[in-house]
Amino acid sequence: MPTNTPYRAIFCDLLTDNTIDILPLRDVTVDDYIGKAGSLSGTVPVPNAEMAARVRRIEEGRTSVYLQRGTDLWWGGIIWTSTLQSDDQGILTLGIQAATFESYAGRRMIRPVNTADKTLSFPDNDQLDIARGLWADMQTGLDGGNILVTPGAETSGVHRTVSYRDGDETSYQDALDSLAALEDGFEYHVTVYTDPVSGSRVRRLVLGHPRIGTGSTDLVLDRPGTILSYSFPRDATRGGTTARARGASINSDQASESRPLASAIAVADQLIEQAGYPRIDLTSDHNDISDQATLDALARAELAAATGAVVIPEISIRLDDLVPTALLGRTARVRITDEWFTEGLDVRYRIIGVKVSPAQRGRPDTAELYLEEAA
């Protein structure tokens, strides 16, 4: 980053959160999403032996990095890969790639070796309690697993019964994603911020049913104005008007062919019969699910999320002091007037993804916002 950038890259020990160093980071891009891991990439310049000694303290898989803008934490995650490079002039750099703390759940498998039946069970629990229970088991079940993510106390009123056996090698991330994707499911996100009282960094597991919401008032974004550019892609290849979910193979007769359990076909009757849409089929596989009702619910949920053409609007905005740090889950009121929207677009969207590009080479701080229509 240039010397006048408002951003700082803070490198820390993953398990203790103790600060290792604050280093310059150039060519930075970061993104963050609800329900999946975001990423960071950047380059640390290594101009001399003294800086090389500092940069060598970065260790993949055990070093975390925070991106701080002013006094606010905008991003935090784990460095998973790095690339040391020397160009033809002998200039050294270390390229790093990191992912948000959710990515840790994808690197851990559910291995309940400390229970009598080697099974991690959640009978008739609130689904958000199960999500917290999975994260707690990941962090406290075995030594070396606590990455200091603290839970909240949200509830959903929706109860589930699930269990995970040792040897299935189900990742905690897959378990969370499968649970969240059920009909009347939830969303999750690990957010980072600075505690206003202690000044310490916080990694918090945020859960929301049915959605994560942030802020009590709409963020108003105008074009002309804060909005620099926009796109409204419509993709019928990602959507459909029917859906079926397939589960584990069920076969009680060894002489017959093993076939996966399949859900009932969910159909968007209103689009096909009333609106004149063609039949376009969606299908998904869930090899760890052997319950018919669960598969039926998954098919309905997947169709509801991708009925017809999938539209994920994107807008690029200029970051200034009026744009809050906590953007994910916030409702934005988008107002556009131009040649296409001659009468003016005025729609409320929920922000489900953010990609931040710090100012470089005369370019201002910008953020790309990924949106879905607000309920």
Span 16-51, pLDDT tens digits = 999 999 999 998 999 999 999 999 999 999 999 999
Higher pLDDT, 252 or 50: 50
**Cis, bond preceding 233 (omega within 30 deg of 0):** no
Flag whether 295 is in a domain. Answer: yes
SS3 state of residue 42: strand
Flag whether 29 is in a domain. Answer: yes
Say whether both 266 and 328 belong to one domain.
Answer: no
| CA-based R_g, the chain, Å | 23
Say whether both 166 and 277 belong to one domain.
Answer: no
Q: Which amino acid is at 261?
A: L
The CA-based angle 60-62-64, given to 5 degrees, is 90
- Mean pLDDT of the 278-305 span: 89
- Mean pLDDT of the 70-92 span: 93
- Is residue 347's pLDDT more than 50? yes
pLDDT digits (tens, 9 = 90+) for 205-251: 999 999 999 888 899 999 998 899 999 988 888 889 999 999 888 76
Say whether both 281 and 323 belong to one domain.
Answer: no
- Is residue 330's pLDDT more than 50? yes
Give me the domain span that covers residue 181. Answer: 106-190+199-208
Could you tell me which of 77, 4, 91 has the C-alpha nearest to residue 41?
77
Say whether both 365 and 228 belong to one domain.
Answer: yes
Burial class of residue 311 (count of CB atoms within 10 Å of its CB; 0-12, 13-18, 19+): middle
pLDDT digits (tens, 9 = 90+) for 140-194: 978 899 999 999 999 999 999 999 999 889 999 999 999 998 889 999 999 999 9
- Is residue 252's pLDDT more than 80? no
Q: What's residue 83's pLDDT?
A: 97
Say whether both 332 and 219 belong to one domain.
Answer: yes
Say whether both 145 and 89 belong to one domain.
Answer: no
Q: Say how many C-beta atoms besides its own lie within 10 A of residue 53's C-beta.
A: 10
Q: What's residue 251's pLDDT?
A: 67
Q: What's residue 291's pLDDT?
A: 85
- Is residue 93's pLDDT more than 90? yes
The DSSP secondary structure of 51-80, one letter per residue, reads HHHHHTT--TTTEEEEEEETTEEEEEEEEE
Tell me how far apart the alpha carbons of residues 286 and 298 are, in angstroms, rounded to a whole number: 9
Flag whether 36 is in a domain. Answer: yes
Flag whether 1 is in a domain. Answer: no
Residue 12 belongs to domain with CATH number:
2.30.300.10
Containing 355, the helix (H) or strand (E) segment is: strand 345-357
- Cα within 13 Å of Cα(195), Cβ side: 9
* Domain boundary pick from 65, 100, 135: 100
CB 312 within 8 A of CB 369: no
Say whether both 114 and 49 belong to one domain.
Answer: no
Say whether both 65 and 83 belong to one domain.
Answer: yes
Tell me how far apart the alpha carbons of residues 105 and 372 are, in angstroms, rounded to a whole number: 26
Say whether both 182 and 79 belong to one domain.
Answer: no
Q: What's residue 331's pLDDT?
A: 94
pLDDT digits (tens, 9 = 90+) for 254-290: 666 778 899 999 999 988 998 899 999 999 998 878 8
* Domain boundary pick from 100, 130, 145: 100
Flag whether 255 is in a domain. Answer: no
Tell me how far apart the alpha carbons of residues 253 and 239 are, in angstroms, rounded to a whole number: 37
Higher pLDDT, 228 or 365: 228
User: Average per-residue pLDDT in the chain?
Assistant: 90
Flag whether 254 is in a domain. Answer: no
Say whether both 112 and 152 belong to one domain.
Answer: yes
Q: What's residue 254's pLDDT?
A: 61
Say whether both 219 and 342 belong to one domain.
Answer: yes
Say whether both 288 and 354 belong to one domain.
Answer: no
* Domain boundary pick from 72, 100, 128: 100
CA 336 vs CA 52, 136, 224, 339, 371: distances in Å: 49, 45, 7, 10, 15
- Is residue 4's pLDDT more than 70? no
In total, how many domains does the chain have? 4
Flag whether 179 is in a domain. Answer: yes
CB 151 within 8 A of CB 136: yes
